Amino acid sequence: MKKLLVLLLTLVMAGMLLTACGRDDAEDVAVNELTVWSWDPAFNMFAMEVAAEIFERSNPGFVLNNVEMPWETIDMQLTTIGISGEHHLLPDIMLIQDQAIEISVLTFPQLFADITNSGINFNEFASGKTDFSVVNGRNFAVPFDNGVTITAFRTDILAQAGLTIGDFTNVTWNQFIDLGRQVLDTTGMPLLSTYGVGASFMDVMVKSAGTSLFDANGQPNFVNNPAFREAVDRFIEMVDAGVMLLPGDWSDYIGTLAAHDVAGTLAGCWILGTIQEVGPAGVWAVTNIPRLNIPGGTNYSSWGGSSWVITSNANFDLAVAFMNYTFAGSTELYDRILPAAGALSTWGPAAASTVYLEPQPFFGGQTVFADIIRFSQNIPDFMGGIHHYTAMDQIDIALGNIINLGMSIEDALREAEAAVRFEMGL
Amino acid sequence: MEQKKGFKLGLNQKQGLIGWAFLSVAAALIIVMNFYPMFRGFLFSLQTGVGANMEYAGLFNYRRLLEDPQFRQTVSNTFFYLAVQVPVMIVLGLILASMLNSKNLKFKGFFRTTIFLPCTVGLVAYSLVFRQMFAVSGIVNTIAMNIGIMDTPFNWFGTAWSARLIIILGLLWRWTGFNMIFYLAGLQNIDQSIYEAARIDGANVLQQFRRITIPVLRPIILLTAIMSTNGTLQLFDESVNLTGGGPGITSRSMSHHIFNAAFQGIPQIGYASAMSFVILLFVGTLAFIQIKIGDKR
For B225, list phi and psi in degrees, rounded to 5: -65, -40
Grouping H, G, I as helix, E, B as strand and the rest as coil, residue A93 is strand
Give mean pLDDT, residues A40-50: 89
pLDDT at position A20 over 60: no
Task: Check if A197 contacts B (Cβ < 8 Å).
Answer: yes
Give mean pLDDT, residues A144-163: 89
Percent over 90 (pLDDT), chain B: 34
CA B215 to chain centre: 23
Class of domain A149-303+382-424: alpha beta
Predicted local confidence at residue B108, as pLDDT = 85
The closest of A244, A226, A223 to A235, measured between CA atoms, is A244
Grouping H, G, I as helix, E, B as strand and the rest as coil, residue B294 is helix
Give mean pLDDT, residues A327-338: 87
Q: From edge to edge, which strands make up the β-sheet containing A149-154?
A: A264-268, A149-154, A284-287
Residue ranges covered by each domain of chain A? 33-146+304-352, 149-303+382-424
pLDDT at position A26 over 70: no
User: Is the Cβ pair B52, A108 closer than 8 Å?
Assistant: yes
pLDDT at position A140 over 90: yes
Give mean pLDDT, residues B170-196: 90
Instruction: Assign B91 a pLDDT band (cuts: 50, 70, 90).
Output: very high
Distance CA A130, CA A394 (A): 28
According to DSSP, residue B211 is labeled I
Predicted local confidence at residue A22, as pLDDT = 45
Cis preceding linkage at A280, omega within 30: yes
The closest of A305, A349, A311, A302 to A327, measured between CA atoms, is A349
Distance CA A340, CA A344 (A): 11
A264-273, A355-364, B84-93: lowest mean pLDDT where?
A355-364
Instruction: Assign B74 a pLDDT band (cuts: 50, 70, 90).
Output: very high
Q: Residues with Cβ < 8 Å from A166, sequence gap 6 or more?
A: A287
Distance CA A236, CA A197 (A): 11
Give mean pLDDT, residues B205-233: 88
CA distances (Å), B229 to each of B83, B163, B222, in order? 9, 20, 10
Q: Residues with Cβ < 8 Å from B253, sequence gap 6 or more?
A: B74, B77, B78, B81, B235, B236, B238, B239, B245
Predicted local confidence at residue A310, as pLDDT = 94
Distance CA A265, CA A242 (A): 14
Give A-chain residues touching B53 at CB under 8 angstroms.
Answer: 107
Instruction: Return residues 283-312 of A near B (CB < 8 Å).
Output: none
**Tell me: the pLDDT tens digits for A382-418?**
766 788 888 888 999 999 889 888 889 999 999 999 9
Distance CA A326, CA A411 (A): 50
Predicted local confidence at residue A11, as pLDDT = 64
**Angle at CA B137, nearest 5°, toward B131 and B138?**
45
Q: Answer yes or no: is B4 within a domain.
A: no
**Angle at CA B156, nearest 5°, toward B152 and B162?**
125
What number is the ipTM of this complex? 0.76
Q: Write down the mean pLDDT value for chain A.
A: 85
Considering only the C-alpha atoms of chain B, give the largest distance between any 2 of them, rounded to a whole number of Å: 95
Give mean pLDDT, residues B245-273: 88
Predicted local confidence at residue B30, as pLDDT = 94
A171-175, A269-273, B126-130: lowest mean pLDDT where?
A269-273
Give mean pLDDT, residues A129-156: 88
Residue of higher predicted confidence among B14 and B295: B14
Percent over 70 (pLDDT), chain B: 96
Q: Tally the residues of chain B.
A: 297
Percent over 70 (pLDDT), chain A: 92
Q: Answer yes or no: is B240 within a domain.
A: yes
Residue of higher predicted confidence among A217 and B170: B170
Distance CA A370, CA A376 (A): 10
Predicted local confidence at residue A27, as pLDDT = 46
Instruction: Return residues 390-419 of A near B (CB < 8 Å).
Output: 390, 392-393, 397-398, 400-401, 403-405, 407, 415, 418-419
Strands (E), A82-140: 93-97, 134-135, 138-139
For B198, list phi and psi in degrees, rounded to 5: -65, -40
**A420 within 8 A of A389, measured Cβ to Cβ:** no
Kindly give the residue spans of alpha helices, DSSP state H, lying in chain B: 11-30, 36-45, 60-65, 69-101, 108-116, 123-133, 139-146, 160-187, 192-200, 205-208, 214-233, 237, 254-263, 269-294
Q: Domain with B235 in it: what CATH number? A: 1.10.3720.10
pLDDT at position A24 over 50: no
The DSSP H or E segment spanning A81 is helix A71-84
Q: Which of B32, B248, B260 sits opposite A405 (nearest CB)?
A: B248
A18-22, A86-90, A280-284, B115-119: lowest mean pLDDT where?
A18-22
CA distance A53 to chain B (A): 35
Predicted local confidence at residue A12, as pLDDT = 63
* Strand bridging mode A93-97 / A33-38: parallel
User: Is the Cβ pair B52, A107 closer than 8 Å?
Assistant: yes
* Strand bridging mode A93-97 / A306-310: antiparallel
**Tell me: the pLDDT tens digits for B94-144?**
999 988 888 788 888 898 888 899 988 899 999 999 988 888 778 898 898
**Tell me: the pLDDT tens digits for A79-118?**
889 888 899 999 999 999 988 898 889 888 889 999 998 8
Distance CA A102, CA A92 (A): 19
**Tell me: the pLDDT tens digits for A336-362?**
888 777 777 788 887 777 777 888 888
* Strand bridging mode A264-268 / A149-154: antiparallel
Distance CA B93, CA B82 (A): 16
Q: Answer yes or no: is B146 within a domain.
A: yes
Residue of higher predicted confidence among B174 and B189: B174
Which residue in B137, B250, B266 has the most chain A C-beta atoms within 10 A of its own C-beta, making it the best mutation to test that interface?
Answer: B266
Class of domain A33-146+304-352: alpha beta
Count of structural domains, chain B: 1
Q: Answer yes or no: is B209 within a domain.
A: yes
According to DSSP, residue A124 is labeled G
What is the span of the domain harbouring residue B110? 70-294
